[in-house]
Amino acid sequence: TSGWGTATAGATAMRRGGGVRAHSHNYSGPIGRSTKAFLVAATITLLALITTAATSGKIEELRAGFVDSLAATDFASSQRVVLDGSAPRKDCGVTQEAWTKAAGLERRDPCRDTSVREFDASSAVAKVVKYHGGDAPWALVTGGAGFIGSTVVAQLLKLGFRVRVLDDLSTGAKARLNFAKDAQKDGTFQLIEGDVKTYEDVRRAMSDDVTFVFHLAAMSKVRPTLDVTKEDMVGFCVATNVLGTEHVLRAVRARDAALAQKAKDDGSEPLKVRVVYAGSSTYYGNQPTPFDEERTHLRTTTTPYATTKAQGEDLMRLYYTMYDVQAVVARLFMVYGPGEPTEGEHSAVTGRFFDAASRGRALEIEGDGTQFRDFIHVEDAARGLILASLAPEAPGRTVNIGSGVSVTVRELADMISDKQTFVDARENDLKGTLASTCLAKRMLGFAATHDLEPYVREQKRSM
């Protein structure tokens, strides 16, 4: 299955200013009385029943029923979404730690069995094209020559978008975009060599035609930011991940102003740019899993990369709250797949393991290998980002893009090779990551369609 869905969602995917908005779960504002009453009653009932069920094998049944009831609840409100990424959630008295301990969810996605909302991306794009007077919309992808960014570009072109890439090619490569040569010839694809750290480059890429932005350009891995011998590493992360993000948002705001003026002159309905920020699961730090974006956590980032990526999220929220920029944060988990970096500082554990195995070398396992990760295939990650740009309820929200399945590093190594060696644990490494998929399924109609094990088997056959 492609995972794009087969039925049209009941709301338009066009981004307009003003109007009624869905109310977010991760908020700092008030909620309706009926919703609050339901949550209070459900929480009290859950805590009472957990005590009775703890010795009777009913925990799993209670967990499923409680999660299903939350998923079925309509939290819609006429109030504006107010997103606060660091304050505790105010609509539930059960802490993440208490819920984890009571329901045994430490390495289990609470919505693993929850059905996915049907959402037809192709139909949503068709509506956007119609709104553009029959012309395909332009999407800007910063970092579009990278591993994930190039996959986003490929999927956007297949959906009928025109795509412009802004990339300084410091870690990306033109070769990753070879598939777009025909699109470049017919004028539906452009590559601009530029840097998000330079505002004029961003404005030039935004031009006067972009209505979708996917911001992936970043200092994008933890490992290179841990080199304490590089005195300027924190400054470089701030310049790229924070200042670069502000440049993108400032350019989006300027584009929104131009679109608003055009609508005023034409007497038409105003169109606003939708901007999706590729956030990181490192935002959660060493918190209890699964990571639930709707029950916000204390920020415990411990690396320059994680800290500055989280600050990029803060800017997205600021521009949404103050300037009505249609910003969405999509937190990506551990992305793997064809074309992933296999060596150097920007390689992930899957790429390094495959590279070592293909050369007949032992796989280097950091620490004891019990640290676990939520692995998400690059095709799924790209699809999740695109769905976030189309879902009507997404502006102002933060959503996990993960598989909801955790695998330890040792388990991954065992899938690939018996030839293994252990090295010192990485300083400031995360114990584990695991996405709660509840919001992604409910709001985006997103669920991962690729599994890690079949991919590993396929890669081993080709080695």
* Domains of the chain by start residue, with CATH: 107-333+378-402+432-449 (3.40.50.720)
Whether the pLDDT of residue 69 is over 70: the answer is: no
Average pLDDT, rounded, for the chain: 81
Whether the pLDDT of residue 187 is over 60: the answer is: yes
Q: Each residue of 225-270: pLDDT tens digit?
A: 566 566 678 888 999 999 999 999 999 999 999 999 999 999 988 8
Confidence tier at 136 by pLDDT (50, 70, 90)? very high
426: which 2 tokens? Answer: 């990485």
If you average pLDDT over residues 175-193, what whole number do you get? 97
Whether the pLDDT of residue 14 is over 90: the answer is: no
- Per-residue pLDDT, 313: 96
50: which 2 tokens? Answer: 């957990």
Whether the pLDDT of residue 271 is over 70: the answer is: yes
Amino acid letter, residue 384: G
Q: Each residue of 415-451: pLDDT tens digit?
A: 999 999 999 998 778 889 999 999 999 999 999 999 9
Q: Given CA atoms 189, 190, 196, 199 in this order, what sign does their dihedral have?
A: negative
- Per-residue pLDDT, 428: 76
If you average pLDDT over residues 293-302, what whole number do you get? 70
Q: Each residue of 326-378: pLDDT tens digit?
A: 999 999 999 999 999 887 666 889 999 999 999 999 999 999 999 999 999 99
15: which 2 tokens? Answer: 């981004």
Q: Which helix (H) or strand (E) holds 141?
A: strand 138-142
Confidence tier at 125 by pLDDT (50, 70, 90)? confident
Q: Which residue has the higher pLDDT, 22 or 247?
A: 247
Biggest alpha carbon–alpha carbon distance for the chain? 69
Buried b (16+ CB within 10 A) or exposed e, 371-400: bbbbbbbbbbbbbbbbbbbbbbbbbbbbbb
If you average pLDDT over residues 451-455, what whole number do you get? 97
Confidence tier at 82 by pLDDT (50, 70, 90)? very low
Measured CA to CA, the distance from residue 11 to residue 34 in angstroms comes to 24
Radius of gyration (Cα) for the chain, nearest Å?
22
Lowest mean pLDDT among 84-93, 159-168, 367-376: 84-93
